[in-house]
Structure 1
Amino acid sequence: MNLSKKTFLYSITLVTLLISLIIGYFIFMLPSLYVDRMKKNYFDEIVRVQKHFIRDQNYDSIKTSNPTGTFSFSIPEEGDSIFVYNTYLSMEVVIDDSQLLELFHDTREKLLAANEGDFDVDEIAKQKFDFNFEYIVQLIKKACTENKELPIHIEGLQVIDTNEFTQVSEKYTLVGEDLVVCQWDGTDGSNYYTSYVACSIKNGRTLITLLPVMTPRMSEIRPVVLQSLPMIIVVTILVILLATQGFARRIINPIQKLAYHADYVKKTGNLEKEKEIAAGEDEIALLSQSLNALYEQLNQNYQELEKSNLLLQEQNERQEVFLRASSHQLKTPIAAALLLVDGMIQKVGKYSNSETYLPKVKEQLKSMQRMVEDILYLSHCEGNMKVELIKVEEILVACQASYLIQLEEKNLRIEQKIMPVCVKADGEILYKIIDNLVSNAVKYADCNTKICITLENNTLYIHNKNEGIPLELLPNIFEPFVSSETKEKGHGLGLYVVHYYCKLFGYQVKVNNVAGGVEATLKFI
């Protein structure tokens, strides 16, 4: 499954989960929160109404959610009257019935007794208020049907007492120091009701406020929630899909760029890194950075491999040319040696004097030996180099010591200025490079002259006095078997060896004609 399908599946799962959570919230939690909120509002309302009534003992500044059903009663410590207050009326109720007066006095005494000392909610809850509701109902019937003093006559009054009300709960709460709120919850089987009764005693008066309300039900808000669910679901799906689409593009686009770049690299072989495929610090950005680092490393390795291949190709070509030239150069001393040997064997003319020509044969054989040794040395040292830190001045002193006899024979003196220089190289090869330069300086220097050797600033200068190198040889001075036509003529491999190994180590070597002689310059980089 590709990343797009995985992202789509993730989106569907996320949408389903969020919709389930939203539906569960609106069906189960929101109605419960609504009911709790309404109960708290009703409780706060009766506390507010009671505090205003304690302060003003009227309803002039009181606003309630149920103005017709909210009443406050003021009961004096003495007397048979009850003062009733409402948003729309205020009146004094005088109790004339003796039995009702006895019930009234008993209730007032219990409230006053509970108020003695600290206002204790538990003490009020313990009081038993035995109201004879049956007697009160009969009294109301009699007053409405038989009281002839009333200005109207009422017939057919029927008070239906089905006794369907059931108490659900009862709770007393102390608010402040002198206010008690009783919350009574009941039901008639169809609806639930809550009656809040606030009771206080102030300046010898018992103040009571009644607030009957319908208890809010979760079923009241559930239809509203169900009606709004389609819109909520559509909006939620739209928002989530848009957010997921943007999220998917942010993920997929960089990955597509990485894939296209990898395909481009595969087809073209171009290992250059792609710039800013993905910015940031997330996993895709890290992947992009890692791939760029990989491409860069592969590119460097590829370039190094190309350089190595070019170098190897160059070496192969050089070795092929070298072998051809060396085989040609070896023919001359071999032919000369054979000619001398045949002349001595057959005693032809002057060659019959073997004592004179045998040393010449030996000289030709030594020339071939030196040539073969140089060839073998080139092949051997290239694969057995041991790079270490070498003091150049020590190598230079050792090379000079091996030419003391030649210096004496030609009456040469050496003037030198040597400063400490350390380079990383193979000691044997570095000795071979410097020895060839010193050997050429001694070999081609005019007698009774001086050789100037200077070592400073990572550079070696060797200057000798002679007629100089023929101009036609200078461009090819480092080619194999190139040598001047003088009596000191060598086999032509010395400077070739020097140039070969200087190139291998990255050194720079130059041989130029200067005023009064030749100067060789070796720069250690």
Structure 2
Amino acid sequence: MFRNLRIIVFVYYLLTAISIVTILYYFIEIIKIENILLLLLILLCLIAFAGIILAKLSIDPLVEHVTNLQNLSKETLHELNLPISTIMTNIHMLKKNLNSDKDIKRISRIENACEMLQQRYNELDYMIKLQSSNVTYEIINLDELLKSRVEFIKHIFPHIEFDLLVEPTQIYNDKVGLSKVIDNLIDNAVKYSQNIHKISIKLQDSALYIQDYGCGIDEMELLRIFDDYYQSNESIKGFGIGLGMVKRFCDTNNIVLKFRSKPNIGTVVILKFKEN
């Protein structure tokens, strides 16, 4: 599709340039027009008309393509919600009739996995709303949000000890987007903790501190951590896009983002919020 679009736009541009040069030559050499202002006006009209056609040729197919992708995403997202809800409903019904500890643990794992799917569903829904500028801002109890995100992540990393110290804090922000940011930062802290299975999280004076005691980052790497697809440690699974997303969210929402890190000691991520 886009290869043909490039060819069409190039051919049209080439023909337009040739046509304008030909018309200019015709008026100057053959008709020998002396009214330069009239000539410039004619050329300006031709260029404007050519620009409108060129914009339509290049933009309309892209708009149609993006619209189709958005509609497909919305339809797929809607269809995903039903099986997730069905699984969760049946899990709750099954848990009432289970007595064996093994069966309870197994159903708990299924429930945790389903909660993770629900989280991915919420993130996809958020990304669609973000693309359509339909993000909801609201007053958030940041301490309660932080506790809920830590509880969720504990299901994924049960071996990690979370040292949580928070004080009541209210902010006005995008709750879903902020949840993604917190999840991403805690997930990174866990990944880079190596053999020290402890994460310290503090919320104080409208500032959030997330600290790990892992491999740390040197000063040169700190300059590149927000680059898309960059990973300081290639052996750790990931796509290298998380911190770029975090940085964009913080810049958009007037959140001050800072990193303090030393190799073999650990990293502290600081988010400074505007208190409501």
TM-score, normalising length from structure 1? Answer: 0.27
Higher relative contact order (CA 8 A, sep 6+): 2
Larger Rg: 1
Q: Which has the higher helix share?
A: 2
TM-score of the two chains, using structure 2 as the length reference: 0.50
